[in-house]
Amino acid sequence: MKLLVAVKRVIDYNVKVRVKPDNSDVDLTNVKMAINPFCEIAVEEAVRLKEQGIASEIVAVSIGPKACQEQLRTALALGADRAIQVETETFPGSLAVAKLLKAIVDEEKPDLIILGKQAIDSDNNQTGQMLAALTGLPQGTFASQVSIEEGTVNVTREIDGGLQTLSLTLPAVVTTDLRLNEPRYAKLPDIMKAKRKPLDVRQPDALGVDTASTLETVRVDMPRQRQAGVKVGSVDELIDKLKNEAKVI
Ligand code: AMP
């Protein structure tokens, strides 16, 4: 069974995000970048399926500038067998990413495609769904448990007020939720070994995909600064403030 895992390079989740002075975008100068946390969970799930003898090959794919190779090397160190970078100047929008992933799916013919449910930079939560629509494959989104049976993948999803379990015919698209697993750290010898694993670079033109954006970011703003709180001396003072200053009662 062949697995394809989509891995996005994003700003590290520990970094406090800064906005460019002209509010055109987030400032990525000298900022630590990492694998999107949900993609890390996708890689971990693929590696576990391989360790259980269910999967035989894991291919990691990332779309974006050359620097994405760093995250692909991490995926290789975590256990992917080979990697594909689809080289673009900037990060394309979700539809272009989904079309590029479809082109890779058409070539690679994986049995299962695992993506993160969401990239923490764009918060789009739509690439997996778009890929499923473009390929016509069944989708199990926000997976908190995945198990493979003869020709099917069972996906348990956290939904409002409970759990839903779906059975999808393979090949299928699955997107990962936070509780699916706890990703491991890459060990130093595996990081060294990953340098020798194959990493193929592809161009969107050669895959027949137009990556032109269909939307424009108009403006990016920092969240509004919260005002400091005040300490009140008594319940009466609190009630007075709520009534006459905040005017909420
Ligand atoms: P999004 O729909 O942008 O929130 O992203 C959901 C998932 O799609 C991510 O967790 C990745 O698995 C995949 N994805 C999105 N953009 C890229 C990209 N540039 N390269 C590889 N995978 C991506």
Q: How do residues 56-113 score in pLDDT, each as one tens digit?
A: 999 999 999 999 999 999 999 999 999 999 999 999 999 999 999 999 999 999 999 9
> Closest Cα to residue 98, out of 126, 74, 118, 119?
126
**DSSP secondary structure of 80-117:** -SEEEEEE-SSPPPHHHHHHHHHHHHHHH--SEEEEES
- Can you tell me the distance from the alpha carbon of 127 to that of 93, in angstroms, rounded to the nearest whole number? 9
Task: State in Å: Cα 235 to ligand 1 middle.
Answer: 51
- Can you tell me the distance from the alpha carbon of 42 to that of 117, in angstroms, rounded to the nearest whole number? 9
**Distance from the Cα of residue 224 to its chain's centroid:** 27
Interval 120-124 mean pLDDT: 93
- Can you tell me the distance from the alpha carbon of 117 to that of 41, in angstroms, rounded to the nearest whole number? 10
- Can you tell me the distance from the alpha carbon of 213 to that of 25, in angstroms, rounded to the nearest whole number? 15
User: Mean pLDDT score of the chain, rounded to an integer?
Assistant: 96
In sequence order, the β-bridge partners of residue 10 are 34
Q: Which atom of ligand 1 is nearest to the CA of 119?
A: 4
153: amino acid identity, one letter: V
> Tokens 């479809």 label which residue?
102
Asked if pLDDT for residue 31 goes beyond 90, the answer is: yes
Give the pLDDT confidence score for residue 213 in this predicted structure: 86
Out of 44, 59, 66, 97, mutate this one to test ligand 1's pocket (max ligand atoms within 8 Å of CB): namely 97
Give the pLDDT confidence score for residue 224 in this predicted structure: 87
Asked if pLDDT for residue 227 goes beyond 90, the answer is: no
| pLDDT band at 214; cut points 50, 70, 90 | confident
> Tokens 């975008």 label which residue?
25
Give the pLDDT confidence score for residue 8 in this predicted structure: 98
The reply to whether ligand 1 has any atom less than 6 angstroms from the CB of 64 is yes
| pLDDT band at 9; cut points 50, 70, 90 | very high
Q: Is 141 helix (H, G, I), strand (E, B) or coil?
A: strand
The reply to whether ligand 1 has any atom less than 6 angstroms from the CB of 71 is no
Task: State in Å: Cα 116 to ligand 1 middle.
Answer: 7
| Residue 114 near residue 174 (C-beta atoms within 8 A) | yes
Residue 165 DSSP label: E
Pairing of strands 139-149, 152-159: antiparallel
Task: State in Å: Cα 33 to ligand 1 middle.
Answer: 15
Give the pLDDT confidence score for residue 40 in this predicted structure: 98
| Residue 242 near residue 234 (C-beta atoms within 8 A) | no
Task: State in Å: Cα 246 to ligand 1 middle.
Answer: 42
Q: Is 183 helix (H, G, I), strand (E, B) or coil?
A: coil
The reply to whether ligand 1 has any atom less than 6 angstroms from the CB of 155 is no
| Residue 6 near residue 114 (C-beta atoms within 8 A) | yes
pTM for the complete prediction?
A: 0.91
